[in-house]
């Protein structure tokens, strides 16, 4: 079997980048092993997250039923269309930190009678609760996403969350099911994914692992399956690769307690504002995705010591880049508004490559967040709405969903270096390559160890300036384009400029 240490990379030729003359393309060899299956790439690995934070919900996804902005029953029409086109597999809501101060009854019933509440976590804004459970479920149905609800453990009670599950899932006949029907939804929502709290080591209660384990045990006891909906209960894991949190939590968790998922969070912090990154800080942020992969490996290995049958799936249900905020942009567009650049797209693709390579160890990933906040797919301001480079990174990698991940090896080099993931769907081979280097292109030879390739096609997302992005004034500055690629025998050849993402789809024979 090939290993990444099999390869050497050599440099030289010239590409122009914002930093001046780039080093020229090295000849680099990537090896794909289509006969070495890892696991099916669950579509949920490409999931997303929408929190009541800044203008992600209000002013982003939700503009209101009486808005002059084109909408579908209050949902921003353009956002619905683009998210449906991308195919959001699963959407997590209502937080985040907001989840552990959210009481679901505030968001049901006639909108004009819903209470106005202060969002204590994100700026003390007053929210009118016009976007609640029914609106969230409707949004999920409009875009084709599975709903994932994060319940309130920090300031809530087991009864409150237990009633929310019944309200959503009990078919008919109970008082809560009839209340749901009276509020316009006679059919159950069939919400499968339920997070039992969020970041309970921090904003969700500042608990110790043992304290949270005790809360989880109590809550999970009362969360039941109703009708044909089998719950998938998700426990709060660590922030980053905190092995002590996982060890102490699992030590306090009896095996008899139902737990189907365990969610870690992993943010890649940036030292600059989004459009002002230096080369040094670009490299430092993108290198964290090698640490993300290490975290996935180590967290899964530790879970395996307590869960040898892997009945508990590992999630990364918050991840992405978190740059320094521009106070003026936050004032105009809301808390944690972040411009999205070519660097952001590279980061998204590096993260998805990690998830593909570790498809046997993960069951879900949720990028933070969907609109305007942090690592967003869309940016919205009044009637304007644009797709970011992050959106296009996910679009380029969409063909991997549901395919079987196979072993793929890039040359060994210090991060951030060339990244690759590959998958196979019957006689089709899908390869995504990410070149996060700002100054080095590559002449690539992708060698297939078994069978042959033919009829290859490729698309690229690229810009020579890592601080460039799509803006309200230039919404199509960076979009995917067709890219030259050749396939002959067992080799696919292409050229990759610096700062680029390429997905190749090729016919595969003889495997």
| Residues annotated catalytic, as ranges | 199, 318
Q: 3-class SS at 379?
A: strand
Give me the torsion for CA of 456, 359, 437, 462, rounded to 10°.
Answer: 50
Q: 3-class SS at 317?
A: strand
Buried b (16+ CB within 10 A) or exposed e, 406-445: bbbbbbebebbbbbbbbbbbeeebbbbbbbbbbbbbbbbe
Task: Kindly tell me the sign of the dihedral angle through the C-alpha atoms of 167, 168, 169, 171.
Answer: positive
Give the residue among 270, 398, 291 at the shortest CA–CA distance from 340. 270
- Ramachandran sector of residue 23 (left: φ over 0; alpha: ψ -120 to 50; beta: rest): beta
Residue 132 and residue 114 in contact, taking contact as beta carbons nearer than 8 Å: yes
Alpha-carbon distance of 62 to 368, in angstroms, equals 17
Tell me the residue ranges of DSSP E strands in 342-439: 364-368, 378-381, 384-387, 404-409, 419-425, 428-435
Alpha-carbon distance of 307 to 251, in angstroms, equals 11
Q: 3-class SS at 192?
A: coil
Question: φ and ψ at 286, to 5 degrees?
Answer: -70, -30
Give me the torsion for CA of 380, 269, 199, 316, rounded to 10°.
Answer: 80
Q: Hey, what are 398's tokens?
A: 């969409």
Residues 6+ apart with CB under 8 A from 380: 55, 59, 60, 76, 79, 371, 372, 386
Question: φ and ψ at 177, to 5 degrees?
Answer: -65, -40
DSSP string over 168-183: HH--SSSHHHHHHHHT
Q: Which DSSP letter does residue 243 get?
A: H
Helix orientation angle between 209-222 and 158-169, rounded to the nearest 10 degrees: 40
């Amino acid at each position: 079997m090939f290993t990444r240490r099999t390869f050497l990379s050599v440099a030289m030729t010239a590409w122009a980048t914002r930093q001046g003359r780039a080093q020229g393309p090295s000849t680099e060899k990537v090896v794909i092993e289509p006969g070495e299956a890892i696991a099916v790439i669950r579509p949920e690995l490409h999931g997303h997250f929408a929190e009541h934070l800044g203008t992600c919900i209000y002013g982003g996804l939700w503009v209101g039923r009486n808005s002059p902005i084109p909408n579908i029953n209050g949902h921003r029409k353009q956002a619905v269309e683009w998210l449906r086109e991308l195919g959001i597999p699963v959407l997590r809501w209502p937080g985040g930190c907001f989840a552990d101060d959210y009481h679901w009854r505030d968001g049901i019933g006639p909108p004009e009678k819903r209470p106005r509440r202060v969002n204590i976590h994100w700026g003390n804004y007053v929210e009118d609760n016009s976007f609640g459970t029914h609106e969230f479920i409707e949004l999920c149905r409009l875009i084709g996403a599975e709903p994932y609800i994060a319940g309130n453990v920090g300031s809530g009670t087991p009864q409150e969350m237990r009633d929310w599950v019944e309200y959503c899932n009990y078919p008919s006949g109970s008082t809560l099911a009839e209340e749901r029907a009276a509020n316009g939804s006679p059919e159950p929502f069939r919400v499968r994914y339920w997070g039992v709290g969020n970041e309970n080591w921090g904003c969700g209660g500042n608990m110790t692992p043992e304290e949270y384990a005790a809360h989880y045990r109590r809550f999970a006891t009362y969360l039941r399956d109703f009708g044909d909906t089998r719950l998938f209960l998700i426990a709060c894991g660590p922030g980053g690769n905190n092995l002590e949190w996982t060890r102490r939590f699992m030590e306090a968790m009896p095996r008899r307690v139902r737990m189907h998922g365990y969610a870690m969070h992993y943010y890649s912090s940036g030292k600059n504002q989004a459009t002002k990154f230096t080369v040094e800080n670009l490299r430092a942020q993108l290198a964290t995705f090698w640490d993300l992969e290490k975290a996935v490996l180590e967290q899964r290995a530790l879970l395996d010591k307590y869960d040898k049958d892997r009945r508990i799936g590992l999630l990364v249900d918050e991840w992405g880049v978190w740059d320094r905020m521009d106070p003026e942009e936050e004032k105009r567009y809301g808390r944690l508004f972040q411009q999205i650049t070519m660097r952001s797209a590279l980061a998204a693709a590096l993260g998805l490559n990690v998830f593909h390579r570790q498809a046997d160890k993960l069951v879900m990933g949720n990028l933070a967040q969907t609109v305007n906040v942090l690592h967003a797919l869309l940016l919205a301001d009044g009637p304007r709405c644009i797709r970011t480079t992050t959106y296009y990174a996910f679009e380029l990698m969409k063909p991997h969903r549901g395919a079987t991940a196979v072993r793929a090896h890039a040359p060994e080099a210090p991060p951030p270096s060339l990244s690759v993931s590959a998958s196979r769907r019957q006689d089709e081979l899908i390869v995504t390559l990410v070149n996060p280097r700002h100054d080095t292109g590559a002449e690539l030879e992708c060698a297939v160890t078994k069978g042959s390739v033919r009829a290859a096609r490729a698309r690229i997302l690229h810009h020579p300036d890592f601080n460039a992005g799509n803006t309200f004034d230039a919404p199509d500055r960076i979009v995917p384009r067709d890219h030259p690629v050749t396939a002959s025998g067992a080799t696919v050849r292409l050229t990759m400029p610096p700062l680029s993402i390429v997905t190749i789809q090729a016919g595969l024979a003889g495997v």
